[in-house]
Chain A
Amino acid sequence: MLDQLTSYLHTQGLTPGAANSQLWALIYILVVFGGVSGFVMVINWGERKMLAHFQIRLGPMRVGPHGLLQPIADALKLFTKEDVIPEGADKGIFWAAPVWVVLTGFTTLLVVPFGLSHAVTDMNIGILYMLGISSLGVLGIIMAGWASNSHFPLLGSLRASAQMVSYEVAMGLAIVSAILMTSFTEGWNGTGTLSMIQIVEAQRIQGIWFAFKFFPLGFIAFVIFAIAMVAETNRSPFDLPEAESELVAGFHTEYSGLRWSLFMLAEYAGMVAVSSIATTLWLGGWMRPFPNLLSGPSWDLAFSLVPALLVLFLAGVTIRQALKMPTHPALRANKIGMLILGLIIAGVAFILFLPPVFHRTTDILWFCLKIGFFMYLYIWYRATFPRYRFDQLMRVGWKVLLPLALGVLIVTGIVGLRAEIWAWSVQVAAAIATWARGLFA
């Protein structure tokens, strides 16, 4: 029994799936789902706070210090709300739609490599699996729009289906060009890979993140993906399916309470999923930045401390903010709570400094940092851009991104195989020369 429990811990560099340890796979699933749900709560607070600061507001300030408990209050409110199903709605489908959306949103996360061995499982078709499952999510949105039996959701879900289907094409082509880059790895005999972990490995062996490979080709593909993924997750400026000023709330107009919160959960889980694809394919997954420029064991050590230092910095900010709070009886609970939170974060930071811990978690933290970068971009877009109109959105997808992605794919192939193409053309030229010489001889 104990052997079974600990057997996975001895297999270094294997995911629980690959090590065939179902127990640990289950544990990983729980950790990933719990972690992402927690992250959604944090990013929910963070989005409201950041958006507020973009817009010269304070954002949530009442529930807990700096509104830190706001997501919990929101969740409580949503869970205790009346469960409304409209009279004319198709009850079964109406009920199933949010469940379906959450299911697909979270299932994609199974193959996300948070570290070399920190994925639930490593599939040899990992990226294909992610794309496939995440595109099933649109089905839930169509179900929601259709089952609501209302005009605004119907229009919203029609928009959603058209938008997600068309942006998947450009997205897929951008992904293919990244996968093509994996096939240029030395010692892989020209075979690429679809496995999420192997894609990062390829970047490690090639010593370059794919966003910078064949500059600017990789970067263009990355940018295409970064645009398409915003459209894919229905976020501003491509948030047409839930365009607030046009369609009230789009496909989830008729939803409220728990079901509505499931849609929100799925949306944020989807954001995490596509961000992790972008991180894995172009930003070196769990690897630290500048592996070539700043190499050597001392740099390795310095960089592996960065995430822990960041957590410590966060703790410092929290404690400083707590101390800055005005001394007023009404704020005492807030102040103490904030101080305790700061100390907890500081404690986490110190645990992260322990050598056995940070060696195992540093890659996870780097991965999360990169996802956080994308989350910040999402919020930044939302604060800055107006919304595209439907036909313009389609035009951008089909007439700009798709040809561009196709072109990048072709050029990447040519550039990657330039040695072979050169050798082949020399051979052909030589053959023609021989043939011509024979003519005149």
Chain B
Amino acid sequence: MRDETTLTNHLMDDTDDWGEKRRTVLDADELILNMGPQHPSTHGVLRVILKLDGEKILGTECVIGYLHRGVEKIGEHRTYTQFAPYVDRMDYVAAVSNGLGYCEAVEKLLNVEAPPRAQYIRVIMAELQRIASHQVWLGTHALDIGAMTPLFYTFRDREEILKIFEKYCGARLTTHMFRIGGCQYETYDGFEKEVKRFCDFVEPKIGEYEALLTTNRIWVERTKGIGILNGDDCKALGVTGPVLRAAGVKWDLRRAQPYEAYSKFEFDIPVGEHGDTYDRYLVRMKEMYQSLRIIRQAIDNIPEGPIMAKVPKIIKPAVGEVYHSIEAPKGELGYFIASDGSTQPYRMRIRPPSFVNLQGLDKMVRGMLMADVVAVIGTLDIVLGEVDR
């Protein structure tokens, strides 16, 4: 009797716990398959070593680091201001959220707070970015499962968000939108109107994606009961974000530790039930609607006033350390900064949601089939730039 969960991750070791050679169902040899780093659906340069019995997964091992750029180390050799653009390159699908988290962490260290108007602009931009990130996730996830068309629909609608970003700060992808202490730019003329128009434009489009997938028989069969990660597993692994909420845990940092102006808005935290791929899909779809709700409230109540707090030209925080985390589209994005009183951080440590969420992969796919691996990688919504940093 061999319990599959007792399998170690030493994939090349083909002996069982009693030192005998392992036998698979058909008494055939196990197949070690290298999925990636060049593979169409490992979302970049993830390499997963799969141990297969036919199509069945006996174990996996993730090999990461192909996109490692030493972001944290770079942070220790740049001034606080200089480092801000670098964080955009981690989760390049949600650059605004990265920048937001970093700016807030430094603000916390400096003990300053962005003025209300800047906070509202930040919320609007971060929520727009959340929608954009979820759209990229949906398109690629559906493409992994074989539906190629939603990708183009989501990218068409994401384009409108990027246009708003471009108009606001000049960049589309790696925006470097916020500054320590507020925002650099005032909103452009007609910004409110344009964002509102976008909200009205994208709401039926999200319904369009749902019409293609939510009740699609094949989609439901491919996602229901696949890659289950229950609440306890999530907590044990430190998994956060939609993956955690889909497991029924109502944990959203926007509500749990409100930052910026989030305490002023009404919004629901969508939660799932079973923690499977379908629930994660539903949670993210609902989150897009909630983001729209937040954006609408923020646009209606945006206050007048300055957009920059009083921050010295040369940032030299007092000796100390700070950990600040925000709810990025993919989960808890945390920055730990230790200051030695100089212009550069003494230690910079980033807690990326993708990296932590990726740890759930092995638990989710063990015993599943080969095709489920790509579905689960898609549903975890990892960005390798953030995993490897």
Contacts and interface: CB of A to CB of B under 8 A. Distances in A.
Interface of A: 51, 54-57, 151-152, 155, 158-159, 236-237, 239-240, 243-248, 382-392
Contact of B218 (A51, A155, A239, A385): A385
B219 interface: yes
A56 B148 CA distance: 12
A386 B156 contact: no
Contacts of B87: none
B147 A385 contact: yes
A328 to B, nearest CB: 27
Contacts of A51: 148
A54 B54 CA distance: 36
Nearest to A392: B221
Highest count of chain B CB atoms <10 Å: which of A57, A245, A390, A392:
A245
A56 B55 contact: no
Contact of B33 (A56, A151, A244, A386): A151
Given A246-B41, A389-B371, A55 B152 contact: yes
B55 A155 contact: yes
Interface in B150-165: 151-153, 156
A246 B50 CA distance: 12
B40 interface: yes
Contacts of A391: 55, 369
A352 to B, nearest CB: 36
Interface of B: 31, 33-34, 39-41, 54-55, 142-149, 151-153, 156, 212-213, 216, 218-219, 221-222, 369-374
A390 B369 contact: yes
Contact of B372 (A54, A244, A248, A389): A389
Highest count of chain A CB atoms <10 Å: which of B31, B146, B151, B153:
B146
A245 B140 CA distance: 10
B218 A386 contact: yes
B149 A54 contact: yes
B145 A383 contact: no
5 contacts: A57-B152, A244-B41, A245-B143, A245-B144, A384-B212
A388 B221 contact: yes
A386 B222 contact: yes
B281 to A, nearest CB: 12
Contact of B149 (A155, A159, A383): A383
Given A382-B148, A385-B146, A385-B216, 11 more contacts: A55-B152, A240-B371, A246-B370, A248-B39, A248-B40, A387-B371, A388-B218, A389-B369, A389-B371, A389-B372, A392-B218
Contacts of A244: 40-41
Q: Which 7 A-B pairs have the closest CB atoms?
A: A387-B146, A245-B41, A55-B152, A386-B147, A386-B146, A386-B145, A245-B144
A346 B301 CA distance: 63
B142 A386 contact: yes
B145 A245 contact: yes
A389 B221 contact: yes
A152 B374 CA distance: 14
A248 B213 CA distance: 23
B276 to A, nearest CB: 14
A200 B162 CA distance: 58
Contacts of B219: 386
Contacts of B40: 244-245, 248
B369 A56 contact: no
Contacts of A152: 33
Contact of A387 (B153, B212, B218): B218
B152 A245 contact: no
Nearest to B219: A386
A152 B38 CA distance: 13
Nearest to A389: B371
A370 B13 CA distance: 57
A141 B322 CA distance: 60
Contacts of B33: 151-152, 155
A152 to B, nearest CB: 8
Nearest to B54: A158
B52 to A, nearest CB: 8
A158 B82 CA distance: 54
A51 B374 CA distance: 23
A144 to B, nearest CB: 18
